[in-house]
Structures are given as C-alpha cells and as structure tokens.
Amino acid sequence: MGKRIKRRKDGRYEGKYSIQTTTGPKRRSIYGRSQREVADKLAKAVSDSLDGLLFDAENLSVAEYMERWLSDSVHGSVKRRTYGLSPASGESG
C-alpha cells in the first residue's frame, strides 16, 4: 500500500494512497493545510483500510452492503438470529 505527500501549487498538501477493492486497486487522495495534518489523516485512512473499515461501496447493492456490514462490523455484537434474516426481504432465509 504505497503512500506519499506532496505540496500542491495552491499551497495545500496532498497525500495519496492505494486501497484494494473488489474491482482492483484504487487511488485515494487526502488534503490538508500542513504536511503533519495530511500525514495524520493518511495514517488513519491506511489504518482504517487495513482494519476493513474502508471499502468501495459504489457498486454494491443494499443486500451486499448489509451482508458485508453484518460480517465485518457487527459480528459478535448481535444475536445469531440476526444472521438468519435476508437483508433484501427481511424474511428468514
């Protein structure tokens, strides 16, 4: 996961990093007024992506999003019965 920070012509700093999505790698940019601010934001973004908190939701259906949310975010904090529900219909599956 490459990352770098550079100063732009408008005086702001830009940090770039790559994330892996279901369709392949994507480049993301973060902007800030100081190099330190961008470095902090960049470190958080990279950490979040490694923890699975960041993903490309552009092409996900609601059902796919709900399945991913259930497995990645709330697993272990909800009752097992929750996983028996179909996110698209709300009926037992």
pTM of the predicted structure, to 2 decimals: 0.53
Band the pLDDT of 2: cuts 50, 70, 90. Answer: very low
Strands 3-7 and 13-21: antiparallel
Strands 24-32 and 3-7: unpaired
d(CA 77, CA 69): 12
Find out whether 18 and 42 touch, Cβ atoms under 8 Å. no
Tokens in use for 60? 């996900």
pLDDT surpassing 50 at residue 1:
no
pLDDT tens digits for range 11-57: 999 999 887 776 778 888 999 999 999 999 998 887 877 766 555 56
pLDDT surpassing 80 at residue 76:
no
